[in-house]
Amino acid sequence: MATLHGQLTRNAHRLPDKTALIFGDTEHTYRDLDELTDRYANALISLGVQKGDRVGLMSANSDRFLIAFYGALKAGAIVSPFNPRSTARELHYLLEDSGATVLLFAGATVAAVSGLDRLEPAPDVRILSIDGTDGYDDLHALAVSTPARAPGVDVAEDDDCIIIYTSGTTGRPKGAFFDHHRMLWVGHSVSALGLNIFDRQLHVAPLYHCAELVLFALSGLSLGTTHVVLAEFEPTAVADALAEHRISVFLGVPTMYQMMLRLPDLTERDLSAWRLGFFGAAPMPASMVSRLVETLPTVGFVQLCGPTEGGPTGMYSSPEDVVARPDATGRRPIPNAEVRVVTPDGDDVGPGETGEVIIRGETVMKGYWNKPDATSEAIRDGWLHTGDLATKDADGYMTLVDRLKDMIITGGRNVYSVEVENALAAHPDVLDVAVVSQLDEHFGETIVAVVMPIEGREVTLESLRAFAAEYISDYKLPRELVIRPIPRNPSGKILKHVLRAQVRGE
């Protein structure tokens, strides 16, 4: 039966000398990668890892991240990638919730790892370094001295393989878990959107996040593409890598594209190999989408929108759709999925009406790890209820307007924060913006704009309201302005619950 690591081994047989992975000065062919991940698997097995055990993986982007990931899969483990910026308390929660018996980590995260000893109760977990961090057992050193033979663990397509924790934008993260079947179907979906075996992919967004890991790294390694990994995002380094490595496929979150567009010499590089630019994970203002298309006209930009729980799959806009409707979030379901926008009664909304986005398909999670009640609430009659609110027009374009929990009701009228944020984001002096509510005795809630101005510019409430009045109704205009940095998770999503608490002084 098909598995993620089985696909890697097949590629090692059919494409043995093809470059699979590049990180810094290190290159791995598909044969090298398959043999090294066999060694990692055998090393883990020698340390007691058994089929079905959960293995936590906390590391910044590197070749070792992917090697450790596939090594754990070959050992039959269920891998749970953790945010490398997690604190010791956050890491403690993730280990306890997942039931991980082993934690693999890279040195940059050692502060959180060492901090586990100061927490009660201490997690019962074996901690292994994947990069030789002093004071910890070195899995990599053990692996390279271990035979490179197939570990022989019987793993089937319907066996669980990964627990991906949600972004935690509304509270504590929940672990969405998937089997190999679902993860392989994500790869089929991305191939249908244009990824092919000849592509060279650049990975800059965090690999622990579902979009970069599942949609592009795992799917590409299953297909047989070449992968270039950067440790972190820096706009000049990314632009240089796109040219130097002849990258053809790149995923960027909106903030990455925004920073790249500020490079004065971006278009002076040879970017002729770059053919597909994917974006998503957070809303991108229409004004920035249009600027991206105008600046890089030879790149076909594809917008993706789907939650972690979806695999992540959901809706997309083709390059032609992006040009025609830069304000829309998506027009069609991603292949192998169905997407509807429905009323609270479950009926499809009419043109121009707002409803909840629901998804059904091969890639939707099996459920939330050890949370049956939350699973039953999220998946009803086979449909994943995303909690995202969207409008759908007569031409099929869907536009996200808010989260159900973030919708603002002021004076009895619904206000969708994304619509307000898009209007304010077009202001020439605004660098970053988010909209949340403040409690109000008269209106119930009022609208607060949280803004970071462009350096050296000044933004006032009056100027914001006057500018946005050309785009949105007066009751949607902010009544309060707060100047401060906007908390976001690594995928670029605004942490609305954190920001709302800050604004309200909670």
Bridge-based pairing of strands 19-23 and 226-229 is parallel
Sequence-separated (6 or more) residues with CB below 8 Å from residue 368: 174, 175, 176, 177, 374, 375, 378
Residue 175 lies in a domain: no
pLDDT in the model for residue 204:
96
- Which of 103, 70, 106 minimizes the C-alpha distance to 85? 106
Residue 468 lies in a domain: yes
pLDDT in the model for residue 314:
93
Residue 380 lies in a domain: no
Domain boundary among 115, 135, 156: 156
Q: Are 474 and 443 in contact (CB under 8 A)?
A: no
Q: Are 401 and 389 in contact (CB under 8 A)?
A: yes
Q: Number of folded domains in the chain?
A: 2
- Alpha helix segments (H runs only) across 99-177: 110-115, 139-144
Burial letters 394-405, b for 16+ CB under 10 A, else e: eeebbbbbbbee
Burial letters 366-391, b for 16+ CB under 10 A, else e: ebbbeeeeebeebbeeebbbbbbbbb
Q: Which residues pair with 104 in a beta bridge?
A: 57, 128
- Which of 371, 311, 369 minimizes the C-alpha distance to 98? 369
Residue 476 lies in a domain: yes
- Alpha helix segments (H runs only) across 47-87: 63-74
Q: What is the DSSP string of 85-115?
A: T--HHHHHHHHHHHT-SEEEE-GGGHHHHHH
Q: Which residues pair with 400 in a beta bridge?
A: 390
In angstroms, rounded to a whole number, what is the distance separating the alpha carbons of residues 56 and 68? 10
Q: What is the pLDDT along the chain (506 residues), one digit of tens a residue?
A: 699 999 999 999 999 999 999 999 999 999 999 999 999 999 999 999 999 999 999 999 999 999 999 999 999 999 999 989 888 988 999 999 999 999 999 999 999 999 998 988 888 999 999 999 999 999 999 999 998 999 999 999 999 999 999 865 445 789 999 999 999 999 999 999 999 999 999 999 999 989 999 999 999 999 999 999 999 999 999 999 999 999 999 999 888 898 899 999 999 999 999 999 999 866 678 888 999 999 999 999 999 999 899 998 899 999 999 999 999 999 999 998 999 999 999 999 999 998 999 999 999 999 999 999 999 999 999 999 998 889 999 999 999 877 767 778 787 677 878 888 888 988 999 999 999 988 887 777 899 999 999 999 999 999 999 999 888 888 889 999 999 999 887 667 788 878 888 888 86
Residue 147 lies in a domain: yes
Domain boundary among 127, 156, 185: 156
State the CATH number of the domain containing residue 58.
3.40.50.980
- Which of 6, 23, 25 minimizes the C-alpha distance to 61? 23
In angstroms, rounded to a whole number, what is the distance separating the alpha carbons of residues 421 and 403? 13
Which element (helix H / strand E) includes 402? strand 398-403
pLDDT in the model for residue 288:
87
pLDDT in the model for residue 491:
61
Residue 227 lies in a domain: no
- Alpha helix segments (H runs only) across 163-218: 180-192, 210
pLDDT in the model for residue 169:
47
Residue 365 lies in a domain: no
State the CATH number of the domain containing residue 429.
3.30.300.30
**What does the longest C-alpha to C-alpha distance in the chain come to?**
72
Domain boundary among 121, 141, 156: 156
In angstroms, rounded to a whole number, what is the distance separating the alpha carbons of residues 482 and 433? 10
- Which of 39, 46, 51 minimizes the C-alpha distance to 78? 51
Going 252 to 256 to 258 to 260, the CA torsion angle's sign is negative
Residue 25 lies in a domain: yes
Residue type, 138: D
Q: Which residues pair with 481 in a beta bridge?
A: 449
Residue 87 lies in domain: 1-156
Measured from the Cβ of residue 468, the count of other Cβ atoms closer than 10 Å reads 23
